[in-house]
Amino acid sequence: MQITGTAAVVTGAASGLGNATAAALAANGARVYGLDLPSAVEKAPEIDGVTYLEVDVTAPDEVEAAVARAAAGEPLRTVVNCAGIGSAARILGKKGRHDIALYTKVVQVNLIGTFTVLTYAAEQIARTEPDAGGQRGVIINTASVAAFEGQVGQAAYSSSKGGVVGLCLPAARDLAQYGIRVNTIAPGTIETPMLAGVTEEYLEGLSAAVPFPKRLGRPDEYAKLALMLVDHDYINGETVRMDGAIRMPPR
């Protein structure tokens, strides 16, 4: 699918996977609208072709307005959902049972936020004229290897990312009649701001666990895969692992 001369929406665009993806789409000729929380947008690097919008993906009215703005000019063709949060809490731990409010928040952001953006974006994409192949757009969601091999303390995170994986195929089937493809990327351990506070020793341990290449993944590699999925018109309803062949142990 052609990117040049079209609009794109990227959530979690102020840093990490989202920022790398927004930059890559803009470099390939898209007009990118990067959605993120106000506190994140304040610190986001300026990128030619990227307009940041202050949006909470758990607020449907904010999502609706942002997607409508993105679709007001060039045809909206690409949406990449990168917004997400993590948590570490056991179902039963030293401080008692898992906080239900924390579980709810993680699922609200990672799964319901993804679904909200997908839904409003699909509505706008469906209004565009299709290309010669009948295609109108592609939506890429972000899961995690934790969807398949959740570790100790990842009950909330794994549940939310497992939901994103489960969403992929029915969403692709639902939206096929509109010429909209839906795919998912499940990254392994990636060098993002979420790892900024850990020690060098801990990072070395994470890298050593990857079969090959023995290093952490990079946000630009996620962006490269996202662009490939945009370009490859016959990949639809698929979850692609990007993890160096790692399979996560219990802890």
The pLDDT value given to residue 197: 63
Residue 38 pLDDT > 70, yes or no?
Answer: yes
Residue 57 pLDDT > 70, yes or no?
Answer: yes
Quick: pLDDT tens for 174-210. Answer: 999 999 999 999 999 998 876 766 678 877 888 889 9
The stretch 93-121 carries a mean pLDDT of 97
Q: Is 222 known to be catalytic?
A: no
Domain 7-241 homologous superfamily, CATH: NAD(P)-binding Rossmann-like Domain (3.40.50.720)
Cα 34 from chain centre: 12
Q: Give, in order, the Cα–Cα distances in Å from 229 to each of 24, 179, 233, 240.
A: 13, 15, 8, 10
Compute the radius of gyration of the chain from its Cα atoms: 18
Q: Give, in order, the Cα–Cα distances in Å from 157 to each of 19, 89, 106.
A: 21, 10, 6
Q: Please give the full DSSP string across 52-117, using - where no structure is assigned.
A: EEE--TT-HHHHHHHHHHHTTSSPEEEEEE-------B-SEETTEEPPHHHHHHHHIIIIIHHHHH
The stretch 235-250 carries a mean pLDDT of 94
The pLDDT value given to residue 200: 80
- Cβ neighbours of residue 47 under 8 Å, at least 6 residues apart? 19, 22, 23, 26, 32
% the chain with pLDDT above 90: 89
Residue 51 pLDDT > 80, yes or no?
Answer: yes
Quick: pLDDT tens for 60-86. Answer: 999 999 999 999 999 999 999 999 999
The pLDDT value given to residue 196: 65
**Catalytic-role residue among 157, 178, 202, 222:** 157
The stretch 97-103 carries a mean pLDDT of 96
Residue 231 pLDDT > 90, yes or no?
Answer: yes
The pLDDT value given to residue 194: 67
Output the pTM of the full model: 0.95
